Amino acid sequence: MTVTYVPPTAVLDVLRLLTEGPQPGVVLNSPPGAGKSTAVTYMAHHLARHGDQVRVVAQTNSQVDDLVAKIAAVDPGITVGRYTAYGYPVPATLAASNILIANRFPDLRQAAIVVATAAKWLDPVITERGPWAIIDEAYQMRSDTLLRLASTFERAAFVGDPGQLDPFSVVNVDRWTGLAWSPLQSAVAAMLANNPDIPERQLPRSWRLAPHTAIPVSDAFYPFAPFESAPEQGAREMWMPTRSLGNSPADRAIEHAAANGWAFYELPRRHTVRTDAEAVAAVVALAVRVLERGTMLRDERHPDGARVTADRVAIGVAHRDQMAAIKTGLAETAYPNIRVDTANRLQGSEYDIVIVLHPLSGRRDATAFHLESGRLCVLTSRHRHACIVVARDGIPDLLDAHPSADPVPFNTQPRFPNGWEANQALLEHLIAHRIRAL
């Protein structure tokens, strides 16, 4: 893993624009697995050389912990501050001697780089303004948070994945619709609406998604800013060391996914409740089967091959009740700890194999929630090796009957692609990998 990082032009551009450009901000868009945290790490070190403390903002504590570990590992001579809430249990991974952990900001004065969640940066608000900030997962941050945070830096790089889910609020009012500073948008959307001249750059290659995976994801969710799979990552391989007894559809789906990166495991057409018992059972069975069969993989991280372990498998769903039903199902298997989560919470994570319960499976009508492109994008772009999508037959008809286009209020920009288009495009791709469950 100690390969010298060669920053892509986009990262160098962003640094130049941030330090010398006419605008106080710059956006670095990062498609799934495009090396976002590596870029953030590089940028933090680069800016630290200017002599002033660099502030890094992430959205969740686990994002912060991951970044701190990564940034600290680059250069033991650079002190990295982990600014925490009082009483936060810092994980053991942050034991390096150049990591300084404190819950009071003045105690971090000697750190060259300080990392904290947005919430921590705001509690209490740091009154002295720093010259640089790098805001990670900036599309997950809400505009009102940025409004408060902006007093803590002179210039900032906003890094994040524009294809993921927008931030959320329990209130739904339209009094701010059309305002450039509407607090209900993402931080990046608000900043760009107020500063249309802010430059944007994009990381061009995904290190997570292999070529056969990157293309459909790029086509469906990033058609206007396509990306490709990084060729340097070399070949990916996944295989089953044992032949399956019999030839069950589940085994065929797993084998197909191992060979092709995708499988679309289709159950018979039926309208169901959200917690469709057959679909839940199929998801559980697939996850268990992948592990039971001792699935092996080989990639740049494991050049000699490695067995897929339960912590490298995840199950993604749209609704919390589906999550609960699947967890209940898994509890009775040998692998009760496989991660099951909703799209919102899977954002930013990465696994070797991801099994997805398609949001439209068994539905009668496609609602805006089910069609949201960010949701499907998150679910189908978490995997390094294979993604198995489980769904009831009938989704093409469902989409066909709902060619919807969300209204665009005055003074706002529509989302491209919209949810319908993205769903349709991905489905066309998946149909080619269909394995029928019966």
User: Which stretches of the chain bind other proteins, using CB under 8 A?
Assistant: 24-25, 122, 124-125, 143-144, 146-148, 150-151, 169-171, 173-184, 187, 190-191, 194-195, 270-277, 320-321, 324-325, 327-328, 363-365, 367, 400-411, 413-414, 416, 418, 420-421
Across 318-382, where does the E strand assignment appear? 339-342, 351-357
Give, for 74, the enclosing helix (H) or strand (E): helix 61-74
The least distance separating other proteins from the CB of residue 402, rounded to whole angstroms, comes to 7
The least distance separating other proteins from the CB of residue 49, rounded to whole angstroms, comes to 25
Q: Using CA atoms in the order 388, 401, 275, 163, what is the torsion angle rounded to 10 degrees?
A: 50
Nearer to other proteins, 35 or 316 (CB): 316
Output the six-digit token pair for 173.
């009012």
The least distance separating other proteins from the CB of residue 41, rounded to whole angstroms, comes to 24
Across 244-305, where does the E strand assignment appear? 262-267, 296-298
Nearer to other proteins, 79 or 423 (CB): 423
Nearer to other proteins, 41 or 275 (CB): 275
Phi, psi values for residue 187, rounded to 5°: -60, -40
The least distance separating other proteins from the CB of residue 327, rounded to whole angstroms, comes to 7
The least distance separating other proteins from the CB of residue 74, rounded to whole angstroms, comes to 29
Nearer to other proteins, 183 or 249 (CB): 183
The least distance separating other proteins from the CB of residue 21, rounded to whole angstroms, comes to 14
The least distance separating other proteins from the CB of residue 58, rounded to whole angstroms, comes to 18
Asked if the peptide bond before residue 124 counts as cis, ω within 30 degrees of 0, the response is yes
SS3 336: coil
Output the six-digit token pair for 205.
């290659």
- What are the residues whose beta carbons fall under 8 Å from the beta carbon of 187, sequence distance 6 or more? 135, 138, 139, 141, 142, 143, 145, 146, 158
What is the Cα–Cα distance from 164 to 268, expressed in whole angstroms? 30
The least distance separating other proteins from the CB of residue 335, rounded to whole angstroms, comes to 15
Nearer to other proteins, 24 or 226 (CB): 24
Nearer to other proteins, 6 or 171 (CB): 171
DSSP string over 149-211: HGGGEEEEEEEE-TTSPPP--S----TTTT-TT-TTSBHHHHHHHH-TT--EEE--EESSS-H
Nearer to other proteins, 210 or 282 (CB): 282
Phi, psi values for residue 354, rounded to 5°: -125, 135
Nearer to other proteins, 101 or 179 (CB): 179
| Residue 379 CA from chain centroid, whole number | 9
